[in-house]
Chain A
Amino acid sequence: MNTSMKSKRDTLNGVLFASPWILGFLTFVAYPLLASLYYSFCSYDAISPPHFIGLENYRIMLTQDSLFWKSLWNTLYMAVFGLPVSLAAALGIAILLNQRIRGIAIYRTIYFLPSITPVVASSVLWMWLLNPQVGLINTSLKGLGMTNPPDWLSDPAWAKPALILMGLWAVGGGMVIYLASLQDVPVSLLEAASLDGAGTWAKFRHVTVPSISPVILFNLIMGLIGTFQYFTQAYVMTNGGPQDATMFYALHLFNRAFQDFEMGYASAMAWFLFVITLICAIAVFRTSARWVYYAGESS
């Protein structure tokens, strides 16, 4: 009797305490998720009510909108070339910072600060640094003897690498997560490997990497999601140019929704993005069984 009363009270309290989030989830996640699926089959301008047009948005998207494919390609470019580079840089720097030496806290701070700088401010700063004629990067390259440095954001071939470079400056967030996991790598394992005659690389490859693999997985998935939503830098710095070289998926979607007021079409794009994100996340998880090692699990 007493226990059933307690469990009833617990259920009541549990729901009550969680109710702000449950309400928020229903209003700002569950309903919008279904509504945008419905909108994706509609012509909808946010003023008059949505009007059902079947698969028309998807047909236009896949067969007529060249900018859709361009933006998808640009975004995949960032995922395929930019993301691995920045994940590797974050790990490399974390390893470098994982040492007990004097002044390490100062180094960590300097490496971390760019990642919390407001994106609009850092975008403005990098527009200046990347300025082809008078920016610090090109004047330095010229000073080092390069006669013809790239035009960066004004050159369709160099605009995305320029944004990747800027992204490297802000790897601090991922770096700190790696750093914390590096500090949890069992010292006993490293010592045992040393006794067995393992060198620095062998220890890194066979002890450190397996130990931190769950965190690599975490950073990979978060990075993937972030890349698919890459928006502010492109909006502020290039607005998609030059020649659509930085027209990323989220930017194209935003323009269709809030400049052209084609909310139905933009919803179709959003759902396409959602499905791609899901497929990628599932694929990463599936393959992760082969390379992610959880301590305490028999392999």
Chain B
Amino acid sequence: MTLNTAAFRGGSKRITAASIIRLLMTHLVLIAIGLLFALPFYWLVSTALKPDSQIFAMPPVWIPHPVIWSNYPKALHYIPFALYTWNTVKICMYTVVGTVISCSLAAYSLARIPWRGRNLVFATLIVSMILPGQVTMIPTFAIFKWLGWIGTILPLTAPAFMGNAFYIFLLRQFFMTIPRELSEAARIDGCGEFAVYWRIVLPLAKPALVTVGLFTFIGSWNDFLGPLLYLNDERTYTLSMGLQRFVSQHGAEWAMLMAASTVMTLPIIVIFFLAQRTFIEGVTLTGIKG
């Protein structure tokens, strides 16, 4: 399947008609499938810019004419968007900070400190990853109820400070690749374990830490079940909750729903573009180096 790029750099091979046709075909297939993937996004954005008459028009109107911007302010008016965004961002920030700190500590212990019981802890961590969330959901709810935390954001943020098996695993894999000589040298210079972690390992692991932070942010931003379980006051709703409630109340207001969904999706897409490389590397690291 792989095409030889040397042919186009004027290397030993010459450009043949067959290779050009093959390249064209490849692009055609990639573009055709790409359109299928991109089309829902286009429909999302364009529906939000259409007047009602064109939303329900047959055959479908591909380019909104005239472009109606008012669906955005209308949607943002119906849903207290600024408040929900702030609530969501707040939860995201706490979970990102908590996850990065707690996971890097545990990963450091598992990757860099030789201690008895470490293998047992690591095995437990791996096994805990296949545990369905439903099994722990009800007692966890009971714990938070007992603490009086239902209706606050604490059930969504506090557990982040106690680590996450996937991210500990990811960071451990990364920490393993940092040369041991570096920490040994620091120890000889009189660094304690925490100083080695803080001054040597963390700075070297920045890409992995950014990956974990990004995943956590997106996971929190997109989370629905958590807020559904624990938030019962509209003033504390996240965007996911707000959008779902809006759907169940104003099901057929498609233009506004599309506008709200666009605004909710946009930050994720922006973040993806800003950190694309880290992102793909991170997905890879979680999946491969097992």
Contacts and interface: CB of A to CB of B under 8 A. Distances in A.
Contacts of B131: 29, 33, 274
Given A118-B222, A274-B132, A176 B115 contact: no
A270 B135 contact: yes
B217 to A, nearest CB: 11
The main secondary structure of chain A at its interface with chain B is helix
A50 to B, nearest CB: 9
Interface string B231-257: 000000001100110010000001001
A232 interface: yes
Interface string A150-170: 000000000000000000010
Interface stretch (A57-65, A66-74, A78-86, A103-111): A103-111
A217 B105 CA distance: 29
Contacts, number: 279
A36 interface: yes
B123 interface: no
B20 interface: no
A33 B163 CA distance: 17
B1 A98 contact: yes
Contacts of A35: 138-139, 142
Given A20-B105, A231-B225, A177 B58 contact: no
A272 to B, nearest CB: 10
Nearest to B240: A120
B109 interface: yes
Contacts of B101: 20
Interface size class of chain A, counting residues whose CB lies under 8 Å from the partner chain: 35 or more
Between A113, A116, A271, the greatest number of chain B beta carbons within 10 A of the residue's beta carbon is seen for: A116
A14 B138 contact: no
Contacts of A93: 33
Interface in B57-115: 58-60, 101-103, 105-106, 108-110, 113-115
B162 A20 contact: yes
Contacts of A184: 288
B139 A39 contact: yes
B135 A273 contact: yes
Nearest to B168: A21
A116 B268 contact: yes
A139 B59 contact: yes
A221 B130 CA distance: 9
Given A117-B269, A229-B134, 7 more contacts: A13-B115, A14-B114, A21-B105, A96-B1, A100-B2, A235-B228, A271-B135
Interface of B: 1-3, 5, 23, 26-27, 29-30, 33-34, 37-41, 43-44, 47, 55-56, 58-60, 101-103, 105-106, 108-110, 113-118, 121, 124-125, 128, 130-143, 145, 159, 161-163, 168, 193, 197, 218, 221-222, 224-225, 228-229, 239-240, 243-244, 247, 254, 257-258, 260-262, 264-265, 268-269, 272-273, 276, 280, 283-284, 286-288, 290
26 contacts: A7-B114, A10-B115, A14-B113, A15-B115, A15-B117, A18-B106, A20-B102, A24-B163, A32-B138, A39-B139, A99-B26, A116-B222, A124-B257, A125-B258, A127-B247, A129-B43, A181-B287, A225-B130, A228-B132, A231-B225, A235-B244, A236-B224, A236-B247, A257-B137, A277-B130, A278-B130
